[in-house]
Amino acid sequence: MAPKLHKMDYSPPCRFVYLTAEALGIKLDYSEIDLKKLDQLDPAFLKLNPQHTIPTLEDDGKVIWDSHAISVYLFTKYAKDDSLYPKDLYKRAVVDQRFHFNSGTVFYLLRHIVRLMKYKGVKTISQELIDESIQAYEFLEKFLDGHQWIAGDQLTLADFCLLTSTTSLDVLVPINASKFPNVTAWIKRGQQLPYYHVNQKGLDDFRNVIKTLLA
């Protein structure tokens, strides 16, 4: 039986798992969670994941949530080599650092801004949050200095998680291509991946959600 992923396409963390699964050639059984209908608060889902977050993975009676944990789990179980999550301790530590940078900075900012729009009715992003987002891009620019990918010279799971979050934050605080050429080139490289479409579809959905919140 294929692992079941409870998901929502416009969620960047869900798209991170989509990219991981596509890169590894894993077929997942997808279960849609409609936040508007409060599916995440259904007692059956709360029994699986008391934090009621998505994505949430069910596999052989085991339940895992948090996209970073899910992607590493899928990699460890299904990968045929270590290219996406190197065994080398230093290289893996760099990937892990990028994971934490995603959850603590890029996705944190993205989630915070969207929550202000959704729950507080905010229509204009504060200068403080714009400045913090630009600082996040500055860090990404430095990470990519002299490198093709976000954790070095090879594609890793870190690229998947940060591509989904960064392209979504770009919807809210556009990336200045002249100021951040490394970031812009990295995103273009990501778009050339044969399975990038699984991010693009949800990214388009995310863009439409933001348009609706700002209307």
pTM, rounded to two decimals: 0.95
Question: Residue 189 is part of which domain span?
Answer: 89-214
Strand ranges, E, within 44-203? 56-59, 62-65
Q: Does residue 126 share a domain with residue 65? A: no
- Decide which of 14, 43, 78 is a domain's last residue: 78
Is 11 one of the catalytic residues?
yes
pLDDT at position 5: 97
CATH number where 24 lies: 3.40.30.10
Mean pLDDT by 10 residues, the chain (215 residues): 93 98 96 83 88 94 96 97 97 98 98 95 96 98 98 97 98 98 98 97 96 90
Return the amino acid letter for 123: K
pLDDT at position 39: 75
Catalytic residue among 11, 133, 165, 168: 11
Asked if residue 83 belongs to a domain, the reply is: no
Q: Does residue 142 share a domain with residue 51? A: no
pLDDT at position 68: 98
pLDDT at position 132: 98
pLDDT at position 42: 84
- Decide which of 48, 78, 108 is a domain's last residue: 78
The answer to whether 199 and 163 have CB atoms below 8 angstroms apart is yes
Q: Does residue 27 share a domain with residue 111? A: no
Asked if residue 187 belongs to a domain, the reply is: yes
Residues 6+ apart with CB under 8 A from 125: 113, 172, 173
Pair of tokens at residue 28: 């997942």
